[in-house]
Chains A and B, each alone.
Chain A
Amino acid sequence: MMTGSEPAANGRRAANELPNNRLPDLKTVAAAADTAVIQVRDAAVIRGGQTIWRSVTLDVHPGEFVAILGPNGAGKSTLLKAILGLIPLGTGEINVLGHAARRGNPAIGYVPQRRHFDVDVRVRGRDIVRLGLDGGEWGFPLPFLNRPAEQDRASRIQEVIDMVGATAYADRPIGELSGGEQQRLLIAQALVTRPRILALDEPLDSLDLRNQQGVAAVIRQISRETGAAVLLVAHDVNPILSALDRVVYVAHGQIAVGTPEEVITTATLSRLYNTPVEVLRASDGHIVVVGQEEEEVSYHAHRAR
């Protein structure tokens, strides 16, 4: 993302780091100021002898809000999991914050596809959030030995609970909360490590309309306040449309990347689906895609080739 601050950064760099008066190459400066947090280069995932998608190249920048869209079974979640290092690549490479994608990276907050805690799970929401902070630590916790650290943890947990608006019910058992409330707490759990990337897999799925808007607003606000890059797999683009910077559309083993206006068009989607598809825009800005194989795909559960 080129921004207005570019020339200033350029000047400072020239003065501080290059005293020998050699003018820096403009391109290198731009790249340094604009380091992508995620770089996907010509990646492909092959599972069971079948190519899920290939030739995927994508840069995600700090603070960007990117939606991964596409029909069921097209490999949206697979793309997210590949970035998380949970799925090996067939070809190509994925760099996250300058290193190859790896499992367990604390710089990525992850909310997997819709999970519902059963009604009889009697553990506080606050403790679920806390697991995001210390759930991976071995050894017996002795909070009374290090009070300042414990207070710091408690305040970080409270901070993310406030951020997602879950303060009122954070101390109730998670199983008794509604789907939207649980989802907010799971987002808080993903945020508690102060990640630079937030990866959300269908966070709005199976929520009612009001909760969809609420959770979408929370995610939007987080990306603004924390500067974290948000990668969000979605079934329906409309609840998040106003917040989106870019769209990654996955269908039939191919992807298209660009702004929503560029990608969600009759021409691009028809090319991706390899069949005539029509994109309609309602007067309120909502997008309807007509003629896509959504229903067929979900009923016959066939995979896009």
Chain B
Amino acid sequence: MRIVLADNVQISWDLVADLQMMLHYPFMRNALLAGTLVAIVAGLLGFFMVLRRQSFAGHSLANVGFAGATGAVLIGIAPVVGMFIAGALAAIGMHLLNLGARQRRQSDIAIGAIFTAALALGFIFLHLAINEYAGSVYNVLFGNVLGIDAAQVGMLVWASLAILAILATIGRPLLFASLDPDVAAARGVPVRALALLFLLLLAMAVAVAVQIVGVLLIFSLLVTPAAIAQELTVRPGVALGLACGLAVAFVWLGLAIGFFTPYPTSFFITSFAFGTYVLVRVMQWARLKLVRRARQQADGPQPAVGGAA
């Protein structure tokens, strides 16, 4: 992977010309395609992740991916493949530990133990392979969407299509199992198998998403758009669409600004995600305040129930 910085481009007020200039570069076309696919996959999986309260698990899978990527370089295979293998192993490990854990706290501890061990493993791999890999570590940690080549994009397309196809098939039972595992199990939904399959999908999505935003910033595509969507709507279908749309918007905005400035794209993607999240939370807080005040005013003329007693 090379670090590509698009210098010497000037933004003008003619947005169409700006867009044409951006799309003129093959690396930008690759980045847009890859970024869009990853955003769609991350937005959809993120919705279920937030619903299942597995955002910590997702974050940990990304960190495990770090060990996979460095290990892959050490033995000479593609980092993405290494990331997926490590992620899949970690997913199976988490699943087995979750089955044994009686409480969420216990399973969080188990996940934390796995991901710290994986980080340490990644560090030793890195130490062993330091000469060839030092530069790329930066990319694994923080992402480098502008450095994606056509072969990587091809792999990304297939991985994304596979994830989308599986998700479309298991969507409703997964929603049922995520919201209400007891009833879902009683109705014959294979809750445990779905839990493992979901973690495996997540490992796959994380392996491809890391190329865009990196291990450390992956939250901005997996969790933040889905969390914003669930703040804004209570309809699962709408929330899924909104999470996708937001993730895509963040990636596009990040890419555009990254193209015209000398700063890294993933910083802008993360900043837009975080900014929107804060904005939405503040808006919700204000709305709640207003609703309460309106209710108080409506109740005002009447004596409060039980207040005088």
Q: Are A139 and B183 neighbours in the complex by a CB distance under 8 Å?
A: no
Pick from B110-118, B186-194, B205-213, B257-265 the stretch touching chain A.
B186-194
Contact status B169-A135, CB under 8 Å: no
- B124 lies within 8 A of chain A by Cβ: no
Q: Check B180–A115 contact: CB distance below 8 A.
A: yes
Determine whether the beta carbon of A128 is less than 8 Å from that of B180: yes
Which chain B residues border A172 with CB–CB below 8 Å? Answer: 234
What is the CA–CA distance of A104 and B185 in the complex, to the nearest angstrom? Answer: 8
A271 interface contact, C-beta 8 A? no
Q: Are B234 and A136 in touch, CB under 8 angstroms?
A: no
- Of the residues B170, B187, B230, B236, contact of A127 by C-beta under 8 Å: B236
B176 within 8 A of partner (CB): yes
A73 at the interface (CB under 8 A from B): no
* A122 sits at the interface (CB 8 A): yes
Known: A123-B179, A173-B234. A112 touches B169 (CB 8 A): no
Q: Given the interface contacts A84-B186, A110-B183, does A138 sit within 8 Å of B170 by beta carbon?
A: yes
Residues of B within 8 A of A84 (CB): 186
Q: How many angstroms between the C-alpha atoms of A56 and B188 in the bound complex?
A: 26
In the complex, chain B residues 229-245 whose Cβ is within 8 Å of any chain A Cβ: 230-231, 233-236, 239
Digit string of B53-66 for contact with A (CB within 8 Å is 1, else 0)? 00000000000000
Contact of B234 among A124, A139, A186 (CB under 8 A): A124
Instruction: Say whether chain B's binding surface is mostly helix, strand, loop, or mixed.
Output: helix
Count, chain A residues at interface, CB 8 A: 32
The B163-193 residues at the A interface (CB cut-off 8 A) are 168-173, 175-176, 179-180, 182-189
| Complex interface residues of chain A between 62 and 85 (CB less than 8 A to chain B) | 84
The answer on a CB contact under 8 Å between A124 and B176 is no
Q: How far is the CA of A127 from the CA of B179 in the complex (A)?
A: 10
- Residues from chain B with a CB closer than 8 A to the CB of A254 are none
B234 contacts across to A, CB distance below 8 A: 122-124, 127, 171-173
A166 CB to nearest B CB, Å: 15
Chain B residues near A110 (CB-CB < 8 A): 183, 186-187
Given contacts A124-B234, A128-B179, A173-B234, contact A135 B186 (CB under 8 A): no
Within the complex, what minimum Cβ distance (angstroms) separates B226 from chain A?
Answer: 11
Q: A86-B186, A103-B186, A131-B175 are in contact. Are A138 and B169 (CB under 8 A)?
A: yes
Mask: chain A, 249-290; 1 = CB below 8 Å from B; 0 = not: 000000000000000000000000000000000000000000
A49 at the interface (CB under 8 A from B): no
A121 B186 Cβ-Cβ under 8 A: no
Interface of chain A residues 161 through 198 with chain B (CB within 8 A): 171-173, 186, 189-190
What are the 10 closest A-B residue pairs judged by CB atoms, nearest first?
Answer: A104-B188, A135-B176, A140-B168, A112-B182, A173-B234, A124-B234, A110-B186, A131-B176, A122-B230, A136-B187
A-B contact pairs, 19 of them (CB 8 A): A86-B186, A103-B185, A103-B186, A104-B188, A104-B189, A112-B183, A112-B186, A127-B234, A127-B236, A131-B175, A131-B180, A134-B172, A135-B175, A135-B176, A136-B187, A136-B188, A139-B169, A140-B169, A141-B172
Chain A interface residues toward B at CB < 8 A? 84, 86, 103-104, 106, 110-112, 115, 117, 121-124, 127-128, 131-132, 134-141, 171-173, 186, 189-190
